[in-house]
Amino acid sequence: MSLANVANTEILKEENGSIVVRVLPSGGNVIAPAVAEEIRRRNWRNTQFSVEEGRLDEVFRNVTRQ
Protein backbone atom coordinates (compact mmCIF):
# COMPACT_ATOMS: atom_id res chain seq x y z
CA MET A 1 0.00 0.00 0.00
CA SER A 2 1.40 3.36 -0.96
CA LEU A 3 -0.35 6.43 0.44
CA ALA A 4 0.62 10.07 0.53
CA ASN A 5 1.65 11.44 3.94
CA VAL A 6 2.59 8.01 5.34
CA ALA A 7 5.99 7.92 7.01
CA ASN A 8 6.09 4.25 7.94
CA THR A 9 4.08 1.05 8.24
CA GLU A 10 4.84 -1.64 10.77
CA ILE A 11 3.37 -5.14 11.07
CA LEU A 12 2.71 -5.65 14.76
CA LYS A 13 1.16 -9.12 14.69
CA GLU A 14 0.38 -11.91 12.22
CA GLU A 15 -1.92 -14.71 13.33
CA ASN A 16 -4.41 -17.08 11.65
CA GLY A 17 -4.34 -15.20 8.36
CA SER A 18 -4.92 -11.82 10.01
CA ILE A 19 -2.48 -8.98 10.55
CA VAL A 20 -2.28 -5.96 12.80
CA VAL A 21 -0.55 -3.01 11.15
CA ARG A 22 0.49 0.38 12.50
CA VAL A 23 0.51 3.16 9.90
CA LEU A 24 2.38 6.30 10.93
CA PRO A 25 1.80 9.70 9.33
CA SER A 26 4.53 12.01 8.17
CA GLY A 27 4.72 15.53 9.51
CA GLY A 28 1.65 15.28 11.74
CA ASN A 29 -0.69 14.78 8.78
CA VAL A 30 -4.14 13.23 9.20
CA ILE A 31 -4.16 9.93 7.31
CA ALA A 32 -7.09 8.00 8.82
CA PRO A 33 -9.58 8.87 6.03
CA ALA A 34 -7.09 7.84 3.32
CA VAL A 35 -6.24 4.58 5.11
CA ALA A 36 -9.94 3.78 5.58
CA GLU A 37 -10.61 4.48 1.90
CA GLU A 38 -7.72 2.22 0.85
CA ILE A 39 -9.13 -0.59 3.02
CA ARG A 40 -12.53 -0.18 1.32
CA ARG A 41 -11.03 0.11 -2.16
CA ARG A 42 -9.10 -3.14 -1.77
CA ASN A 43 -12.07 -4.92 -0.15
CA TRP A 44 -9.95 -5.94 2.81
CA ARG A 45 -11.92 -7.39 5.68
CA ASN A 46 -11.46 -4.96 8.52
CA THR A 47 -12.51 -5.83 12.05
CA GLN A 48 -10.97 -2.88 13.84
CA PHE A 49 -9.67 0.56 12.90
CA SER A 50 -8.40 3.01 15.50
CA VAL A 51 -6.46 6.24 15.68
CA GLU A 52 -3.81 6.64 18.36
CA GLU A 53 -2.72 9.97 19.73
CA GLY A 54 0.95 10.86 19.36
CA ARG A 55 3.25 9.35 21.95
CA LEU A 56 5.38 11.56 24.16
CA ASP A 57 8.64 10.21 22.68
CA GLU A 58 7.42 11.11 19.18
CA VAL A 59 6.47 14.61 20.29
CA PHE A 60 9.90 15.06 21.90
CA ARG A 61 11.69 13.96 18.73
CA ASN A 62 9.60 16.30 16.60
CA VAL A 63 10.24 19.26 18.88
CA THR A 64 13.98 18.65 19.15
CA ARG A 65 14.36 18.30 15.35
CA GLN A 66 13.15 21.85 14.75
Positive or negative: CA dihedral 54, 19, 35, 47: negative
CA distances from 24 to 2, 11, 48, 62 (A): 12, 11, 16, 14
Mean pLDDT, residues 27-47: 88
Q: Check residues 50 and 1 and name the one with the higher pLDDT.
A: 50
- The predicted structure's pLDDT at residue 27: 83
pLDDT at res. 47: 78
C-alpha closest to that of 54 among 20, 21, 31, 38: 31
